[in-house]
Copies of this chain bind each other. A is one copy, B any other.
Amino acid sequence: MDCPDWVGDLVDFTRAYDDDDARMRLAITLARDNVVHETGGPFGAAIFQARTGVLVGVGVNRVVPLHNSVLHAEVVAIMMAEARVGSYSLGEPTAHELFTSCEPCSMCLGAAFWSGVRRIVWGATRDDAFQLSFDEGPVFPESYAYLRKRGMSFRAGLLRDEARAVFELYQGGGGEIYNG
């Protein structure tokens, strides 16, 4: 799909990731390696079957290299997961979860909702992204309340320090901040 070539060497779609920490660590590794390889912004995401932990899709930010503002890590992961599953729904019959190195922006939160994933877990927070000068768009406490009412759940700040360290790596390397 839209992932750079090195992603194929990193990920293993045959293995299961047993717990939240292991799943988040993959998302953060994708983010860090995307900075190291200079293939996009400091963001990574991965989608798993909720119950088994089997990996279904991954994504990294590809906005600048592919001239495409839609290609945030979460969107890339959702599109790959749906292509691999062969369905526009990651909610039924198998419940999936999205792990992302940073709290989703307004577009990605909406994309996750439409994808049907039942749970989102993130590392760095909206405030961390703003400190890096990335705008996260119109997401409010009511946004999460709206989605909770529709059956989604959220876990914030898992391995936050490791996720933030990727932002520092990006900033230290002079990475492009590409808000319009």
What residues make up the interface of A, taking CB atoms closer than 8 Å to B? 63-64, 66-70, 72, 75, 78-79, 82-83, 85-92, 105-111, 113-116, 135, 137-140, 142-144, 146-147, 150, 178, 180
Contacts and interface: CB of A to CB of B under 8 A. Distances in A.
Contacts of A180: 89-92, 113-116
B111 A69 contact: yes
Nearest to A86: B67
Q: Give the residue among A64, A82, A83, A114 with the most B Cβ atoms within 10 A.
A: A114
B75 A70 contact: yes
A135 B106 contact: no
7 contacts: A64-B88, A69-B111, A69-B116, A88-B178, A106-B109, A138-B139, A140-B142
A139 B110 CA distance: 10
A90 B178 CA distance: 12
A76 to B, nearest CB: 9
